[in-house]
Structure 1
Amino acid sequence: MTILVHRLRYMMTTNLNGGGRGGGGEGPCGACKFLRRKCVRGCVFAPYFDAEQGTASFAAIHKVFGASNTSKMLLRLPLHKRLDAVATLGYEALARVRDPVYGCVGHLFSLQHQVMNLQAEIAHVQARLSMFQRFYLVPPQQMQQPPFDLAYNNEYPMEPTNLDVGWEEEQLPQAVRL
């Protein structure tokens, strides 16, 4: 759609700045060429449908809306809104040609379905992320102090004890004695 809008804006500026058709002796505009009629001065289609590429765009618009209805719509609009109207008509006409039943609404349904699928996927990924954060990541408080350190634990002093393990110092090999 944006390519069509840019192309139409370019065509409109070149046509309104002296490069236009419509009785200038340069030949018919794309719409008049498609309709096989003489392009008169002040042709409502001339600023929007050039002779080279405008014929194909106008063909789709003509097939869906008709030339008379299109010209009536354009004449009712102020000049500064006509370009957007032609771009919209072109988009709707091409969508209707591609999908005769739904037209551009079919594309809207497709986009809405895509948005719903992406929202569901985001919810699923957020739920999994939350699960991983709860089960696999250690909270920042626990990461700062180790959970079990013998050097600072009062329950297990580091000094020698008088445990009787059944060994006398004389029974130990020379390498083990202190």
Structure 2
Amino acid sequence: MRHRGIACAVCNFQRKKCPQDCILEPYFPQDHPQQFQNAHNLFGVKNMLKTLQNLDDQEKKDEAMRNMIYEANVRAKDPVGGCYRIVLELEKQIKMAKRELACSILITRMLY
């Protein structure tokens, strides 16, 4: 919850007073400037606002912002691979798990 007079990370970055009804404040509180910077670098404030304005349901807005923030933070850590590298790693783990399962099934069938 924001204290009066303290701008959120977005308004602080833009050097403006943070209005009481600031739409981005819940996602970028003043103590998370790097999180905002990552999202700003990847999406830009205008696109984040446009995304929020195009969604009616608050739950969808929250989910959209969670995803954008996650993707932006991952991209900041891995500028080349981003989320795609995570997907590749998960696919690799799934493939390995399927192989292990197939081996376990084969061994079980041989024993019984």
TM-score by length of 2: 0.84
Q: What whole-Å deviation, never above 9, does each CA across 1:15-44 have from its counterpart, x for those lacking one?
A: xxxx446xxx42201221233332234222
Where structure 2 has 5 or more consecutive residues not aligned to the other structure, the ranges are none
Identity of aligned residues (%): 31
Give secondary structure in 2 for the equivalent of 1:63. Answer: helix
CA distance in 1, matches of 2:36, 2:73: 10
Question: How far did 1:119 drift?
Answer: 0.4
Distance, in Å, in 2 between the alignment partners of 1:57 and 1:45 is 12
- Give, in angstroms, the shift of residue 90 of structure 1: 0.7
RMSD between aligned residues: 1.9
The answer on whether the counterparts of 1:44 and 1:75 sit within 8 Å (CA) in structure 2 is no
Match of 1:32 in 2: 11
Q: Give the Cα–Cα distance (whole angstroms) in 2 for the partners of residues 101 and 48 of structure 1.
A: 25
User: Aligned to 1:108, which of 81, 87, 92?
Assistant: 87
Matches of 1:76 and 1:55 in 2, distance apart?
25
Structure 1: give runs of 5+ residues left out of the alignment: 1-18, 134-178
> What's the secondary structure of 1:28's corresponding residue?
coil
Separation (CA, whole Å) in 1 of partners of 2:9 and 2:17: 11
How far 1:79 sits from its partner (Å)?
Answer: 4.8
Partner of 2:97: 118
**Is structure 2 residue 48 aligned with structure 1 residue 70?**
yes
Give the superposition deviation at 1:113. Answer: 1.1
Moved over 4 A (4+): none
Which structure has the larger Rg?
A: 1
Alpha-carbon distance in 2 for matches of 1:59, 1:109:
26
Aligned partner of 2:68 in structure 1 is 89
> Which residue in 2 is equivalent to 1:60?
38
> For residue 152 of structure 1, what is the aligned residue in structure 2?
none
Greater relative contact order structure (CA < 8 Å, 6+ sep): 2
Query: Residues 69 and 55 (structure 1 numbering): CA distance in 2 closer, same or farther, change over 3 Å?
Result: same
Which secondary structure state, in structure 2, belongs to the residue aligned with residue 40 of structure 1?
A: coil
Map 1:1-178 → 2, pairs under 5 A: 19-20=1-2, 25-52=4-31, 54-80=32-58, 81-133=60-112
